[in-house]
Amino acid sequence: MSTSETIPTARPKRELPPLMRLTEVAAERLRRLYDGAEAGKLLRIGVSTKGCSGLSYDMDWVEQPGPGDEVVRDQGLTLLVDRKASLFLIGTVMDYEQKQFSAGFTFVNPNEKGRCGCGESFHV
């Protein structure tokens, strides 16, 4: 009597989206900052608990990567992401917007499930 054995086959791994990407406009603005007032520093992006929806984007200038930072390279630029924020930011696109009375970096995050009315915070 013969027996048959099923050998499990490994599923092909699907590629994860990049942690973060920069638009051309954001890359150009970041290049100007790296070449000017923030020369020698790196932009570090994190997520903190605050605002009416629970989470908010944080950005700081640092001299070098910390032990918990993910290094993101896009369009010839380097930026850092706090490892604790990585799961909240996978696939996020960072842009730079200039309006009549304000300008700043913005985030298009596919993980967001909603934002507060003022746009300062989000939840996943």
Domains held by the chain: number: 1
SS3 content of the chain, % helix, strand, coil (to 5): 15, 40, 45
Residue 53, domain extent: 20-118
In CATH, what number is assigned to the domain containing residue 47? 2.60.300.12
Going by C-alpha positions, the residue among 16, 49, 46, 44 that lies closest to residue 123 is 49
In a domain? residue 4: no
In a domain? residue 8: no
Residues 10-32 have pLDDT tens digits of: 777 766 678 999 999 999 999 99
In a domain? residue 11: no
Q: Is the pLDDT of residue 78 over 90?
A: yes
In a domain? residue 38: yes
Report d(CA 107, CA 95) in Å as an integer.
Answer: 6
Residues 84-114 have pLDDT tens digits of: 988 888 999 999 999 999 899 988 888 776 6
Averaged confidence pLDDT in the chain: 84
Report d(CA 102, CA 124) in Å as an integer.
Answer: 26
Q: In the structure, what pLDDT confidence band is assigned to residue 47 with cuts at 50, 70 and 90? A: confident
**Residue 56, pLDDT score:** 82
pTM for the model stands at 0.77
In a domain? residue 2: no
